[in-house]
């Protein structure tokens, strides 16, 4: 075992499970929450559940620790970042599309009032 500050078993396993599988699912969940105009607090709840699933995959496939609070927190923070990025990216597009008379996009994650 190669324990580290961020990964429990190996960096490849962390990248594959937490960042690719968990992060991709978190991004899609963030987009779904934004598309249904739900709150960021609901997204946090969904990410808690997804964090448990990511922790289980670490345990079941790579002999990680199932009930590791520290590594759960690391996984949770990483997927939460992906989720909020997905939500913000989608929300920016929604605001500009729905309120195009008042707002314009000012980057992939932001919008601003027209004429400013």
In order, the DSSP letters of 52-116 are HHHHHHHHHHH---TT-HHHHHHHHHHHHHHHHHHHHHHHHHHHHHHTTTTEEE-SSS-EEETT-
- What is the structure's pLDDT at 17? 95
Give me the residue spans of the domains in the chain: 11-113
- pLDDT tens across the length of the chain (116 residues): 556 777 787 889 999 999 999 999 999 999 999 999 999 999 999 999 999 999 999 999 998 888 888 999 999 999 999 999 999 999 999 999 999 899 999 999 999 998 87
């Amino acid at each position: 075992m190669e324990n580290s500050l961020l990964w429990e078993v190996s960096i490849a396993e962390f990248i594959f499970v937490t960042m690719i599988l968990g992060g991709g699912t978190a991004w899609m969940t963030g987009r779904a929450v934004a598309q249904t105009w739900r709150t960021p607090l609901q997204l946090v709840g969904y990410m808690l559940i997804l964090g448990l699933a990511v922790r289980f995959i670490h345990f079941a496939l790579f002999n990680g620790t199932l009930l590791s609070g520290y590594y759960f927190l690391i996984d949770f923070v990483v997927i939460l970042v992906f989720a909020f990025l997905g939500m913000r990216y989608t929300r920016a597009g929604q605001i500009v599309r729905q309120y195009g008379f008042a707002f314009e996009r000012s980057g992939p994650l932001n919008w601003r009032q027209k004429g400013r």
